[in-house]
Amino acid sequence: MLSSFLLSQDFSKGLQISHNPRGIFINQSKYALESLKKYRFKSCDPVDTPMVEKSKLDEDKEVKAVDPSHYRGMIGTLLYLTASRPDLQFAICMCARYQARPIEKHVHVVKRIFRYLRGTVNRGLWHPKDSSVALTTFVDADHAGFQDTHRSTSRSVQFLGERLISWSLKRQKSAAISSTEAEYIALSGCCAQILWMRSQLSDYGLAFNKIPMYCDNKSAIA
């Protein structure tokens, strides 16, 4: 009974699904508003980006730690939003690395994410009806972006036509000696993901002979 009621209200595990003749829109605005209210950000001033440009975070063990339970609660709340908000994923995952011993500057970055959320509550995923079924992927990697271990972070998104169907953000297992190597590691991981997706989509009668994979590192392309 409860599940039927939730589905009739376009509410399924925090996801709101809206249908119209042009396509499907998925977002989590109800959950986002509840999260803002829970942590007292409902009336805050919004910001344009979830993080400051070229923001660098580290452990900084010389600084006194803050209450980890409150910090973890905020991170857990935000992580659930990444189901429909890939624009939040990088900033949230960056802050999630410091849940064991958060300090004030980590809390400050998390608060900025909430302020960004305040101005973008109604954003989500748009899946147009008449888009093609071409599978395309975009890959990127930052070189030594994680200050504590100098590891790089791989990032990728996959589109089926104009529909965003998958996205990933993962810290690489080893430190790359160059930006080119970091990009190659990201590309290889994305390639494995694409091969798996191609296999799954073949069950629905979709076949792909060539799958474009784009990156912006000139050395890796050469």
Q: Over the stretch 42-93, which tens digit does the pLDDT of each residue have?
A: 999 999 999 998 787 888 889 999 999 999 999 999 999 999 999 999 999 9
pLDDT value of position 10: 52
What is the spatial distance between Cα 31 and Cα 39, in angstroms, rounded to a whole number? 12
* DSSP code per residue over the chain: -HHHHHHHTTEETTEEEEEETTEEEEE-HHHHHHHHHHTT-TTSPP-SSSS-TT------TTSPB--HHHHHHHHHHHHHHTTT-HHHHHHHHHHHTTSSS-BHHHHHHHHHHHHHHHH-TT-EEEEETT----EEEEEEEETT--TTT---EEEEEEEETTEEEEEEEEE-SS--SSHHHHHHHHHHHHHHHHHHHHHHHHTTT---S---EE---HHHH-
- Domain extents for the chain? 2-124, 131-221
pLDDT value of position 155: 93
Mean per-residue pLDDT of the chain: 91
pLDDT value of position 8: 56
Summarize pLDDT for 120-163 with one digit per residue, the tens.
999 999 999 988 899 999 999 988 887 778 899 999 999 999 99
Domain 131-221 matching CATH 3.40.50.300: the answer reads no
pLDDT value of position 4: 55
- For the question of whether the overall pTM of this predicted structure is more than 0.85, the answer is no
